[in-house]
A and B are shown apart, each in its own frame.
Chain A
Amino acid sequence: MANELVLSLRSLSKRFGDVVANDAVSIDLYRGEVLSLLGENGAGKTTLMNMLFGHYMPDSGSVEVADSDGTLRPLQLGHPQAALEAGIGMVHQHFTLAENLTAIDNILLGSESLWSLRRNRGAARRKVQGIIERSGLAAPLDELVGNLTVGERQRVEILKALYRDARILVLDEPTAVLTPQEADALFDNIGAMTRDGLSVIFISHKLREVLAFSDRIAVLRHGRKVGEIATAEADERIIARMMVGADTEATARAAMQAGDPVLELENIAVKGKSARDSLHRVSLTVRAHEIVGIAGVSGNGQTALARLVSGLTRPDGGEMRVDGRRVTKFDPQTLLKAGIGRIPEDRHHDGVVGAMSVAENMVIERLDADDVQKHGFLRKAAIRAHAQELAAAYDVRGPGVDAEARLLSGGNMQKLILARVFECAPRLILANQPTRGLDLGAANEVGRRLLEARARGAGVLLISEDLDEVLALADRIVVIHDGRLIAADTTDREAIGLMMAGEHA
């Protein structure tokens, strides 16, 4: 069973304009194994999977998939339906479930004929139950998906794929939204399923998980497969070197005495649309020379906290002080001027205006400054020259400062935002998921810059769902759960994980 080939990607290539997204990538997958697909952002993982699923048409190359008898047959490319019929299932990072239907309806949805008068629910349900028993993917089948936890929703997604007789399962960053405990449960389930003959392609950024749970690791860099290694022979250093092409230095951090408070929240309440989008009388202090990390599973009030500190939401109660001065007017402009620099969570949506130039995006937060405008007119030459300096200083690579910002890769876009924020020498930096979707190199750069700001005397409020990142950067960790903040007096992963799940250790 060990050497039975179930999927073979042969020399797949794809270009978008001048960008080579995949260059002759070949990957084999065997029955019952977990293959990790690792790579920096923009390395081509998503493009590769989109070709496998028929969303993109490769420029060249082919795919072969084993049928139920184990015979390899060519997969018709460019047809999502063909991939489904060949037994390939995918669980996307963003779930594709209907919240107003029950879990079982979501699982059956789309796999039944539109015209059958009576639904054969009994048999279908037995089949789902059977899968649950074998895999351990427990989910309340008759509950509306809207009421399920994120972990349960993910299990429903996986069940949906297995119900369609998937023999190959692709998981796109499955642990991004899970607590460490939920992630461990997921890996237990994957173990049970692979023993049952399922093959799994596991896309992840988190080296720790990849090392712990996969059998084999394939690394993509700049659209090429640069290495493949059995997990037993790998360690973090080897993989990191493969991913970025060089050794990455662990971010060195000096001990530092925290100074005066730069941000104080006192009994702040925010009533959001849902309980998960609210803050319940939270208090928090961030001091100069200090990075405070907010750890938590997404959807526990991080958005409300970030919007508050950005000036996009006004509190319904409590007091916020910046540099000791009480904030009375909550709008982005006021808080920017008060010295809060923001690295927004969704850089495409909130961080840059994609259709405007890199140079314009670099000055968008300080249009009133004298070096940007004179009598209401833009000093284009000065803006351009300044942007070139900044791009060089922050290593923003791309088609130049006059090109549209949307053409930048994720990492370079984030460097643009870093340049913009740091240039204003903010008192407080709100870094919301600052490394999400970034490659290792760019992520290290972000960490380095945040530590640099801390050394300069700024306070940093780091909101991240990546506990490893919080552990690596923060001087102090505060756990956010259900709109409440709990100071974590420990750096123990297990204990913090329990707090993230709402259990007081």
Chain B
Amino acid sequence: MIRIEPRSSVPPVLKYGVPVLSALIALALAAIPLLLAGADLVEAYGKMFTGVFGSMFSFTEMLTRATPLIFTGLAAALAFRAKLWNIGAEGQLYLGALAAAAIGTGLIDAPGFVLVPLILIAGAAAGAAGMAAPAYLKTRFGADEVVTTLLLNFIILIFLQMMLEGPLKDPMGMGWPQSAPILDQGMLPQLLPRMRVHWGLILALVAAVIAQIMLGRSVWGFRLRAVGENAAAALHAGIGVRRTIMSAAIVSGALAGLAGVSEVAGLKGYLTADLSPGFGYTGIVVAMLAGLSPLGVVAAALFIASVFVGADSMSRAIGVSSYLADLVVSMSLISVLIGGFIARYKIGFGTPAKGGA
């Protein structure tokens, strides 16, 4: 018989150890499909490792991949801290990307120091608007934001396709559904010569630091945490619960929007409907793995990006499907959820545990 009892407090070893251990377990579990595919494990894990840390180029590729994940991870983490379940970062990412493409491809011809901030602000605003709407429906009418944000993703994606076939379509694009290129001066500069990693990474890291400070040290963060942990008590204590939820929604949406901006104006240079391989959804895994801590998001995003990039290069090298990366990411989410449970509860088997914890 299994007995489950809540712990009075979570020891720090578990708090930080569980996510790390979960990630490692997920990585280790990847051995099963690898074996089934007949791969040599040493070679496979070796290729995965060198695929990330083997060269300057592969390492910067990992950082490039981590950039949107930091943004979407922060978007999820901040919203989740307020118990606002934003599942719509994917849609908000595309809204941000749309806004970036709309004003960055020639609508405004301004020098870079004007155009780049404009693109960033427009993208953040579009993402914010994309999350403000479901949050308003939640605070005003009690609409479940899980449903509304999730379904909005599909609406936004179809809207995007419509725009790419219509007003935003590149006249020089040989009929492909893609936008015209972002003006050169509107692009986020590259960080290193001949590498794809760009200033979006710096923005993402700055955003993470700011989020960490705001959440822990500002009155706004205090309100957000209070609302997330106990909305009834927060309301009783005179905290504007609806306003706090709205503000969390706006910040969350803006961060997701910036993920889109950074992909369009930092990496691709033009907008297509397959800009994001699910960065919005993966951001949820990143946030959970990070225990909803903004700085933890950076670490988790780096891990997940490493898995993606490493698995990609491994699959090319030894001919195993790169879906393996998705598998590891999914399993790390499951491991961290189970691990979080173990951290919060004491689990004993059979006869009761003697003595204290």
Contacts and interface: CB of A to CB of B under 8 A. Distances in A.
Q: A and B, one complex? A: yes
Interface of A: 15-19, 57-60, 78, 310, 312, 331-333, 336, 342, 344, 349-356, 360, 364-365, 367-368, 372-373, 376-378, 380, 403-404, 407
A349 B5 CA distance: 21
Contact of A59 (B7, B222, B236, B352): B352
Given A332-B238, A367-B222, A353 B352 contact: no
A407 B6 CA distance: 12
A356 B225 contact: yes
Interface string B211-224: 00000011110110
Contacts of B354: 59-60
Given A57-B3, A349-B232, A364 B8 contact: no
B229 A353 contact: yes
A78 B352 contact: yes
B15 to A, nearest CB: 13
A135 B103 CA distance: 82
B238 A355 contact: no
B217 A350 contact: no
Interface residues of B, number: 32
Contacts of B229: 353-356
Contacts of B220: 376
Contact of A58 (B223, B239, B352, B357): B352
Contacts of A353: 225-226, 229-230, 233-234
A373 B219 contact: yes
Interface in B7-45: 7-9
26 contacts: A17-B357, A18-B8, A57-B352, A59-B352, A59-B353, A78-B1, A310-B236, A332-B238, A336-B237, A336-B238, A349-B230, A350-B232, A350-B233, A352-B230, A353-B225, A353-B233, A354-B229, A355-B230, A356-B225, A367-B222, A376-B218, A376-B219, A376-B220, A378-B218, A378-B222, A407-B8
A333 B240 contact: yes
Contacts of B356: 15, 17-18
Contacts of A351: 233, 236
B230 A354 contact: yes
A360 B222 contact: yes
Interface string B196-222: 000000000000000000000111101
A450 B262 CA distance: 59
B108 interface: no
Nearest to B352: A57
Contact of B9 (A15, A17, A58): A17
B355 A59 contact: yes
Interface string B339-357: 0000000000001111111
Contacts of A17: 7-9, 356-357
B146 interface: no
Nearest to A333: B238
A350 B351 CA distance: 37
Contact of B238 (A354, A360, A365): A365
B11 to A, nearest CB: 10
Given A60-B354, A356-B225, A332 B237 contact: yes
Given A332-B236, A350-B232, A352-B233, A367 B352 contact: no
Contacts of B226: 353, 356, 360, 364
B235 interface: yes
B353 to A, nearest CB: 8
Contacts of B3: 57, 78
Q: Which of B217, B218, B230, B357 has the most CB of A within 10 A?
A: B230
A13 to B, nearest CB: 10
Q: Which of A353, A377, A407 has the most CB of B within 10 A?
A: A353
A364 B237 contact: yes
A412 to B, nearest CB: 14
Contacts of A310: 236
Contacts of A373: 219
Contacts of B352: 57-59, 78
In the complex, the 3 A-B pairs of residues with the closest C-beta atoms, listed nearest first: A333-B238, A57-B352, A17-B8
Given A17-B7, A333-B238, 11 more contacts: A18-B357, A332-B237, A336-B238, A351-B233, A353-B234, A356-B226, A364-B222, A365-B237, A367-B223, A372-B219, A403-B9
A288 B353 CA distance: 55
B324 to A, nearest CB: 37
A47 to B, nearest CB: 12
Nearest to B353: A59
Contact of B236 (A16, A342, A377): A342
Q: Which of B8, B217, B236 has the most CB of A within 10 A?
A: B236
A79 to B, nearest CB: 9
Contacts of B232: 349-350
Nearest to A355: B229
B355 to A, nearest CB: 7
Contact of A378 (B8, B219, B235, B353): B219
A365 B236 CA distance: 9
A350 B7 CA distance: 23
Contact of B217 (A344, A378, A403): A378
Contacts of A352: 230, 233
B247 to A, nearest CB: 12
Nearest to B235: A332
A332 B239 CA distance: 8
Interface string B316-357: 000000000000000000000000000000000001111111
A14 B238 CA distance: 39
A367 B8 contact: no
Contacts of A356: 225-226, 229
A84 to B, nearest CB: 18
A18 B171 CA distance: 71
Interface string B232-267: 111111111000000000000000000000000000
Contacts of B8: 16-19, 407
Contacts of A342: 236
A270 B225 CA distance: 32
Contacts of A349: 230, 232-233
Contacts of B240: 333
A410 to B, nearest CB: 15
A15 B226 CA distance: 30
Nearest to A336: B238
Contacts of A59: 352-355
Contacts of A60: 354
A147 B187 CA distance: 70
Nearest to B354: A59
Contacts of A312: 235-236
Contacts of B233: 349-353, 364
Contacts of A333: 238-240
Contacts of A377: 217-219
Nearest to A374: B219
Contacts of B219: 367-368, 372-373, 376-378
A312 B235 CA distance: 8
A82 to B, nearest CB: 13
B258 to A, nearest CB: 22
A15 B356 CA distance: 6
A32 to B, nearest CB: 33
A332 B218 CA distance: 21
Given A342-B236, A355-B230, A407 B217 contact: no
Contacts of A16: 5, 8
A350 B235 CA distance: 8
Contacts of B218: 376-378
A344 B230 CA distance: 14
Contacts of B351: 57
